[in-house]
Amino acid sequence: MNFELLAQLTITGVVLGSFYALMGMSFGIVYQTSKIFHLANAIPFAAAGFAAVWSAETFHLPMFGAFVVGLLVAVIFGLLILVLGYFPLINRNATLLSLFLVSLGVTVAFPNLLQIVFGTQNKTLQVYGADGTLNRAFETQVYNVGFLTITQLDIIKIIVCWLVVLCVVLFVNKTRFGRSITALRTNPTMAAAVGINSKVVYIVVFAIGSLIAGMGGLFVTTEFVAYPTMALQWTLIGFIAVFFGGIGSLPGTALGGLLLGLVSSWSSVWLGVQFAPVVVFGALFIILLVRPQGLFGKAAA
Amino acid sequence: MAYYGQIAINILILLSLSVSLNLLLGYAGRVSMAQSILFGVGAFTAARLVLPKLTDTYNANVSGVGYGMGWPWWAALLGAIVVTFIAALVISLPAVRQVKGEYLILLTLAFQLGGQQVMTVWEAVTGGPFGVAGIPAIKIGSMSFSTVKADSTVRFAILMLIVTVIVIAVCWGIGESPFGRLLKTLREQESVLPSVGKSPIRPELLTFGITAGIAGGIGALFAFSQGAMTPVNFGLDLSILIVSVVVLGGVGNIFGTIVGAIILGGLDPILSNTVGADAIPWRAVIYGGALVVMMMVRPQGLIPEGAFRRFKKGKSTEEMTPAEAMESLSRVSATHEVGSAPALEVYGLKKSFGGLVAVGGASFTIAEGKITALIGPNGAGKTTIFNMITGTFKPDEGTVKLFGEDITGLSVVDIANKGIARSFQDVRICEQMTVLDNVAVAVPKQAGEGLTNLIFRPLKTRKVERATRERALECLALFGISDKANDLVGELSYGDQKLVAIARLLATDADVLLLDEPTSGVDPANVEGVMQGVRRLRDLGRTVCLVEHSVHFVQQLADRAVFLDQGIVLAEGTVDELINQQELADLYFGS
Amino acid sequence: MNSSDGNLLEVSDVTAGYNKRRVITGVSMNVKPGEIVGVLGHNGAGKTTLLKCIFRMLSIESGDIVFDGASIAKSSSVKTVASGMSFTPSERPIFRDLTVEQNLELGAHSVRDRQAIKDRMGEVMELFPILGERRTQLAGRFSGGQQRQLSVGMALMVQPKLMMLDEPSLGISPTVVTKTFATIRELAAEKGMSVLIVEQNVKAMTTIADRVYVLRHGEMVLEESGDAARERSEWWHLF
């Protein structure tokens, strides 16, 4: 085994795994609080990317300004789905299947709407320079450390993703509101008894989840391009990270995501990098067969 | 002409894929997001099987892989169906043991998205992003069926129509059969199946396999007709479209699916003429939006299940009186000698949950042909004991004997088949099914529940089904509700629903019936009706053991009682004997 | 505000259930200010359902509920705590994965005044010393009786006019039960608080109740004074 290759693959795996962990956080916090299979988490992801590109071009915003707009749009769309799509059904005690079907409808309609409005070409994030011309917003620098290669964006990605994981975990465990999220999740009767408003908790949780999904979309847009169907595979990865890493455990989900990233990166030696989906699917398949609650999840009572 | 032929073919393909998904989603209530990729698996499998063998003198096509196994088209079709069937069984394996539907959604979603990605890069099998071309068309005699040439398009459309009719007939046949009844029960109240001695795993797996197999077969036909295809044809949007057709049309309802397919399939050419290139995304916006709106406004779909129920009522048989039903149902049990052993014996049953002792060593016997109640203060372990007898929990220690046979630790399904059936405190009745079907599903040994019988022995199946329905009617007649046999259970009062649940128990033919709080949730006016129903069970010679918290009701209902506290039996006897013991009263009401 | 015959809580002819299940039918009862009222009955009689209806966690089919002069039959449970009612469930009455302090803090979820929360927490810890000693321990580690104490403490954090307890004796040894009930009686007297207790443990309940009701299979079958209940020897037919 070529040590240099292994080391490089590990770096790639960590970068990938960090992004998986980010997407896992996004879906995880929404799913474990509300139990809704929120496939429509893909919408804030894509919306952020498109909003950033569009606002940079239209309003001559600098890159960070475009990011802010993107994140705002992501949160707004996520909350719209919750309030207009899910709440009416929850009020009627609808089944989780009905909620999923609403999510499905939104998930198929939105990217196609994007395609109608923005066309099918890939959208590069471009900002106006001092000379008034549109240039690509971010050109990543490549660093070579000995035999290893890593890009500037990779480093930023790792830092941001784990910062987000840390923030979310700290928020849930250390803040008063975060504790009310845990309260609602672990003991809904008692939560109602002390007056916790589940709708308010859902709104905050969805806002956080959509914000993080938006960050994911911005990463992909900045590093590559934005395109209508950009969100689904990453949204799915988020789901897999949760079910693989551990339902009901946010740190478990993050670690699960990291593990998935590493495993799929290492496996590219034998399978070729394009077959990474097979590895991820295989890992999920095995875990669900052997330990359905996930690697770090708690067994059902 | 060929233009309309192509439109018809597209609609028919969508229809076939949807009707088959309806079997899984509509009847069994399981969501699969992989119908599109399975369609593709069938297509590529058939393509590789049917393409001619590579010989020295045959040059491979420039685009994609141009050679294969050289099989005749019908063999390739069969091969495609088999491969897709097996693939589906494999994917769904982890999900099948989980009650939560999300596992199947996740697995099929991952398979759909990941599978399409793999197809796009797996050049050896699928030709990568360029796909496969040069697939020979179906040739019967001198006629070829494909959409490549204008004149054969219409021919293929007719072929596709015949295939679709066959698919509809097959799915309808399966859905409306006793097997289909199992699926519907699976959808509505999964836990009921093991409690009447039938495992839910095989039906679920088989159904997913069939749904996939049909999709694979249609995929093969698609490949033959097109002559060429790429992985792009088999994306997630198509899976969602198929789900939409089923849901919008009305889940569990083939006619609704047909209407849904025609509407959504027909949207494509209409939109092409109005918005041109954006037709596909516009259609997606429409059916995505329609899904959302439907769930809000009319979740049962355009044509809800059971809409044609009134037309299916059939001949009205003379209704049996309870007395006649009693005559018909009385019998001496053939599985054991009368009076050879107590109906149920429990020795030293123990169960702890994480350090907390729920049952600390319970021993008692239940006499045959009587109504015995388990009573005791809260936390006495009554329900846990019930659960250990029926196999829901495995005892930590102790034995359970049914007419002298040791049944400790057996599975729920096995115990039910040995002759113990239980009802549930929360009734667990299938609201979207008829009263008759609810009871009929419990009748044991139905030929029609096995697919082999359905296919190869239709006459026997029909005969057995007639007998099953008669038996179910008898059970209903005993409780005086046979006139409601064709009503949807959801329309009945709660008291009547409880009676249906008891009739369901009776239909299992079990000798020992365990009733979990039979009167709970029944409003005061209907309680006596339920209690009468329970007494009729005993009058039939069945052994009844029940858990009932109201001593007042137990006094009216039970012949004997077993007093439990903290999971230990303190006394056995008639109810009056027990309530006259001061120590028991002190225990029950505190001292 | 109406006086409602001086009743703090008045339940009139309430019928309720879940979906098609009917759990309580035509139930009427009331609680006066400063009273300790017990609702007795067998398992499944509808006692918890009654409390949930009063607390507004469950919608009612028909009838009315008036609390502190205002009809609350249509309001939601989120407002109930703020209006002066507390509810302590019979099972899992605390948050097991959180510490004692965090539990008490959550008990005061509806309380705005930070200082008040601090002061009340101090009071509760004085009342139940074990809570103060083990304030940073996870509630799930405590014994049944200690968890009950914590649950009562959580209810006290909102200084309720009406404290509702669902089977507070569940899972606790008889001596601890006696102590707990005695504490409740003292608290009620001290703070002028009304207490509505749902119980299966007849003897414990009758020791402190001013009045008792008996619920059987969803119907109110008896109402009598605490004294009469203490004298009563025949309870079987009521359960």
Closest CA–CA distance from residue C58 to any residue of chain A (Å): 11
A110 touches chain B (CB under 8 A): yes
Q: Is residue A276 part of a domain?
A: no
Quick one: pLDDT at residue C172?
Answer: 84
Rounded to whole angstroms, the Cα distance separating C16 from A300 reads 31
Q: Is residue A167 part of a domain?
A: yes
Q: Per-residue confidence at B342, pLDDT binned at 50, 70, 90?
A: confident
Which residue in the set C43, C201, C238 is minimally distant from B549, CB to CB?
C43
Size of the B and C interface in Cβ pairs below 8 Å: 74
Sequence-separated (6 or more) residues with CB below 8 Å from residue C207: C178, C181, C230
- Is C87 close to A196, i.e. CB distance below 8 A? no
- Is C106 close to A194, i.e. CB distance below 8 A? yes
Write the pLDDT tens digit of every residue in B263-287: 999 988 888 888 877 788 899 999 9
Mutate to test the interface with C, among A92, A174, A189, A190 (most CBs of C within 10 A): A190
Rounded to whole angstroms, the Cα distance separating B539 from B333 reads 14
Q: Are B551 and B375 in contact (CB under 8 A)?
A: yes
Write the pLDDT tens digit of every residue in B136-167: 888 887 777 877 777 788 888 999 999 999 99
- Is B106 close to A284, i.e. CB distance below 8 A? yes
Sequence-separated (6 or more) residues with CB below 8 Å from residue B102: A37, A96
Partners of A104 on chain B (C-beta within 8 Å) are 240, 243-244, 288, 291
- B549 with B586, same domain? yes
Mutate to test the interface with A, among C105, C109, C112 (most CBs of A within 10 A): C109
Partners of C121 on chain A (C-beta within 8 Å) are none
Rounded to whole angstroms, the Cα distance separating A200 from A83 reads 11
Q: Are B366 and B385 in contact (CB under 8 A)?
A: no
Rounded to whole angstroms, the Cα distance separating A111 from A115 reads 6
- Is C57 close to A192, i.e. CB distance below 8 A? yes
In the three-class reduction of DSSP (H, G, I as helix; E, B as strand; rest coil), residue B345 is classed as strand
Q: Is residue A246 part of a domain?
A: no
- B370 with B227, same domain? no
More confident residue, A42 or B482: A42
Return the bridge partners of C31, or none: C9
Which residue in the set B379, B517, B524 is minimally distant from C44, CB to CB?
B517
pLDDT-wise least confident of A119-128, B65-74, B476-485? B65-74
Name the domain count of chain B. Answer: 3
Q: Say yes or no to pLDDT of A158 above 90.
A: yes
Q: Are B47 and B245 in contact (CB under 8 A)?
A: no
Q: Residues of chain A with pLDDT > 90: what percent?
A: 63
Quick one: pLDDT at residue A169?
Answer: 95
Partners of C86 on chain A (C-beta within 8 Å) are 193
C175 touches chain B (CB under 8 A): no
Write the pLDDT tens digit of every residue in A71-104: 999 999 999 999 999 999 998 888 888 899 999 9
C22 touches chain B (CB under 8 A): yes
Write the pLDDT tens digit of every residue in B247-258: 988 877 888 899
Quick one: pLDDT at residue A299?
Answer: 66
- B38 with B116, same domain? yes
- Is C109 close to A182, i.e. CB distance below 8 A? no
Closest CA–CA distance from residue B427 to any residue of chain C (Å): 10
pTM, to two decimals: 0.90
Closest CA–CA distance from residue A180 to any residue of chain C (Å): 7
Q: Which sign, positive or negative, has the C-alpha torsion A84, A87, A90, A92?
A: negative
Q: Per-residue confidence at B96, pLDDT binned at 50, 70, 90?
A: confident
DSSP-derived secondary structure for A247-260: TT-HHHHHHHHHHH
Residue B351 structure tokens = 């169960």
Q: Are B478 and B535 in contact (CB under 8 A)?
A: no
- B85 with B152, same domain? yes
In the three-class reduction of DSSP (H, G, I as helix; E, B as strand; rest coil), residue A93 is classed as coil
C15 touches chain A (CB under 8 A): no
- B80 with B220, same domain? yes
Q: Say yes or no to pLDDT of B62 above 50.
A: no
Domain of B374, CATH number, reads 3.40.50.300
Q: Which sign, positive or negative, has the C-alpha torsion B14, B15, B16, B22?
A: positive
More confident residue, B54 or C213: C213
- B118 with B142, same domain? yes
**Chain B residues 479-518 with CB within 8 Å of chain C:** 493-494, 497, 517
Placement of tokens 């916790």 in the chain: A196
A143-157, B138-152, B201-215, B275-289, range with greatest mean pLDDT: B201-215
Burial pattern C21-40, b for ≥16 Cβ within 10 A else e, equals bbbbbebebbbbeebbbbbb
Q: Chains touching chain C at 3 or more Cβ pairs under 8 angstroms?
A: A, B
Calculate mean pLDDT across residues C22-51: 93
Q: Tell me, rounded to whole angstroms, the distance of Cα A7 from its chain centroid.
A: 26
- Is C200 close to B378, i.e. CB distance below 8 A? yes
Quick one: pLDDT at residue B60?
Answer: 53
Q: Is residue A149 part of a domain?
A: yes
- B383 with B481, same domain? no
- B451 with B483, same domain? yes
Write the pLDDT tens digit of every residue in A2-21: 788 888 999 999 999 999 99
Instruction: For chain B, give the mean pLDDT.
Output: 87
Closest CA–CA distance from residue C19 to any residue of chain B (Å): 9
Q: Are B475 and B329 in contact (CB under 8 A)?
A: yes
Write the pLDDT tens digit of every residue in B578-587: 888 888 888 8
Q: Is residue A256 part of a domain?
A: no
Write the pLDDT tens digit of every residue in C109-140: 999 899 999 999 999 999 999 999 999 999 99
B266 touches chain C (CB under 8 A): no
ipTM entry: 0.91
Q: Say yes or no to pLDDT of B522 above 80.
A: yes
- State the burial class of residue C133 (Cβ atoms within 10 Å of its Cβ: 0-12, 13-18, 19+): exposed
Quick one: pLDDT at residue B63?
Answer: 46
Pairing verdict, β B560-565 and B371-375: parallel
Write the pLDDT tens digit of every residue in C137-174: 999 999 888 999 999 999 999 999 999 999 998 878 88
Calculate mean pLDDT across residues C16-31: 91
Q: Is residue B440 part of a domain?
A: yes
- Is C86 close to A193, i.e. CB distance below 8 A? yes
pLDDT-wise least confident of B311-320, B342-351, C25-34, C108-117? B311-320
Partners of A190 on chain C (C-beta within 8 Å) are 89, 92-95
- B444 with B581, same domain? no
Q: Say yes or no to pLDDT of B567 above 90.
A: no
Q: Is residue A13 part of a domain?
A: yes
Q: Is residue B41 part of a domain?
A: yes
Taken in order of first residue, the domains within chain C and their CATH numbers are: 1-84+161-173+192-239 (3.40.50.300), 91-159 (no CATH)
- Which amino acid is residue B165, in one-letter code? V
Calculate mean pLDDT across residues C187-213: 92
Quick one: pLDDT at residue C1?
Answer: 43
Q: Say yes or no to pLDDT of A108 above 50.
A: yes
Could you give the residue ranges of the DSSP H alpha helices within B540-590?
Answer: 551-557, 575-579, 582-589
Q: Chains touching chain B at 3 or more Cβ pairs under 8 angstroms?
A: A, C
Sequence-separated (6 or more) residues with CB below 8 Å from residue B86: B209
- B391 with B431, same domain? no
Q: Residues of chain C with pLDDT > 90: what percent?
A: 67
Closest CA–CA distance from residue B98 to any residue of chain A (Å): 8
Q: Tell me, rounded to whole angstroms, the distance of Cα B126 from its chain centroid.
A: 35
More confident residue, A216 or B130: A216
Q: Say yes or no to pLDDT of A132 above 80.
A: no
Sequence-separated (6 or more) residues with CB below 8 Å from residue B303: B249, B250, B253, B255, B256, B259
Rounded to whole angstroms, the Cα distance separating A264 from B248 reads 38
Residue whose C-alpha is closest to residue C153's, from A125, B231, B411, A194 = A194
Task: State which of B483, B509, B535 marks the end of a domain.
Answer: B509
Taking the alpha carbons at both ends of chain A, their separation in whole angstroms is: 44
Quick one: pLDDT at residue A238?
Answer: 94
Task: State which of B509, B529, B556 marks the end of a domain.
Answer: B509
**Domain containing residue B94:** 2-235
**Domain containing residue A200:** 3-230
Partners of B287 on chain A (C-beta within 8 Å) are 105, 108
Q: Is residue A288 part of a domain?
A: no
A260 touches chain B (CB under 8 A): no
Return the bridge partners of B365, or none: B345
C109 touches chain A (CB under 8 A): yes
Q: Residues of chain C with pLDDT > 70: what percent?
A: 98
Could you give the residue ranges of the DSSP H alpha helices within B276-303?
Answer: 279-297
Partners of A186 on chain C (C-beta within 8 Å) are 95-97
- B377 with B445, same domain? no
Rounded to whole angstroms, the Cα distance separating A126 from A221 reads 10
Partners of B295 on chain A (C-beta within 8 Å) are 89, 94, 98, 101-102, 105
C46 touches chain B (CB under 8 A): no
Q: Is residue B525 part of a domain?
A: no
Q: Is residue B250 part of a domain?
A: no
Question: What's the per-residue H, E or C state across chain C?
Answer: CCCHHHCCEEEEEEEEEECCEEEEEEEEEEECCCCEEEEEECCCCCHHHHHHHHHCCCCCCEEEEEECCEECCCCCHHHHHHCCEEEECCCCCCCCCCEHHHHHHHHCCCCCCHHHHHHHHHHHHHHCHHHHHCCCCEHHHCCHHHHHHHHHHHHHCCCCCEEEEECCCCCCCHHHHHHHHHHHHHHHHHHCCEEEEEECCHHHHHHHCCEEEEEECCEEEEEEEHHHHHHCCCCHHHC
pLDDT-wise least confident of B12-21, B316-325, B343-352, C206-215? B316-325
Q: Say yes or no to pLDDT of C3 above 70.
A: no
Q: Is residue A283 part of a domain?
A: no
Rounded to whole angstroms, the Cα distance separating C73 from C53 reads 8
Name the domain count of chain A. Answer: 1
Closest CA–CA distance from residue C78 to any residue of chain A (Å): 5
